[in-house]
Chain A
């Protein structure tokens, strides 16, 4: 079964760093781009960026460029979404999803990030 499994929910304080993960299985992980999206109640789904795990080529949404870092370790079929200094406004559900023929055909279960002092 093709699946993406994300890391557990996180509770952090403003200014702290965080790295969440998304691990694929059931397919050749280096064959597909993986995207990250943010979901908040007021903003719906926002695309953050995509990465090609085979060579770590990355493309960011202009809204998230410089705010987060997307990386990958294809040896362990995992991509990461990282913040160096969290803000309260980063509180959201984050999803990874596999890109196939330009559509996101497999989604992770989501990682809730709560940033509060």
Chain B
């Protein structure tokens, strides 16, 4: 059971907008840690999609955007395309006695209808 909670699946038709939530708590996202998002296409390694809540690495289309508020974060995808069908993971950190631990969300499977 991940400490960062994501919906198992979302879907949308081509051209639509979808959002994927990532819900944490006061010891992780709510403690001020940034949230990063990764896209994992079928049969491939994860790829960094959004870093530090709302920043896109070079080459990532501006159809992808991120936001963070309180103990949650969201990934929005506009103008949905067939090639966006993938699993999306959020990642942050959690306060521990020894500092901070990496946390991944459970992943959300996006289906393009």
Cα–Cα distance between A97 and B101 once the two chains are bound (Å): 15
A contacts with B, residue count (CB < 8 A): 22
- The distance in angstroms between the C-alpha atoms of A35 and B103, with both chains bound, is 12
- With the chains together, A103 CA to B52 CA distance in Å? 8
**Chain B residue contacts of A83, Cβ below 8 A:** none
Is A66 positioned at the interface, with any CB of B under 8 Å from its CB? Answer: no
Expressed in whole angstroms, the Cα–Cα distance for A31 and B74 within the complex equals 30
A 44-80 binary contact with B (CB < 8 Å = 1; else 0):
1111001000000001011000000000000000000
**Given A59-B99, A95-B45, A110-B45, A103 and B51 touching (CB < 8 A)?**
yes
Complex Cα distance, B96 from A45, in Å, reads: 20
**CA A18 to CA B2, docked complex, whole Å:** 27
Count the B residues whose beta carbon is within 8 Å of the partner chain — how many? Answer: 25
Q: Which of B2, B101, B106 contacts A61 (CB 8 A)?
A: B101
B24 at the binding interface (Cβ < 8 Å): no
| Residue of A whose beta carbon sits closest to that of B37 | A103
Chain A residues with CB under 8 Å of B99's CB are 59
The reply to whether A104 and B46 form a contact with Cβ atoms under 8 Å apart is yes
B94-113: contact bitstring with A at CB < 8 Å (1 yes, 0 no)? 00101101111111000000
Decide yes or no whether A20 CB sits under 8 A from chain B.
no
B89: contacting residue among A44, A108, A109, A110, CB under 8 A: A44
In the complex, what distance in Å separates the CA atom of A103 from the CA atom of B36? Answer: 6
- A84-109 to B contact mask, C-beta < 8 Å, 1/0: 00000000000101000111111111
Q: Which residues of B are in contact with A by a Cβ distance under 8 Å?
A: 2, 33-34, 36, 38, 45-48, 51-52, 57, 89, 91, 93, 96, 98-99, 101-107
Show 13 residue pairs from A and B whose CB-CB distance is below 8 angstroms, ordered by the A residue. A37-B104, A44-B2, A44-B105, A45-B107, A47-B101, A59-B98, A59-B99, A59-B101, A61-B102, A101-B52, A103-B48, A105-B51, A107-B48
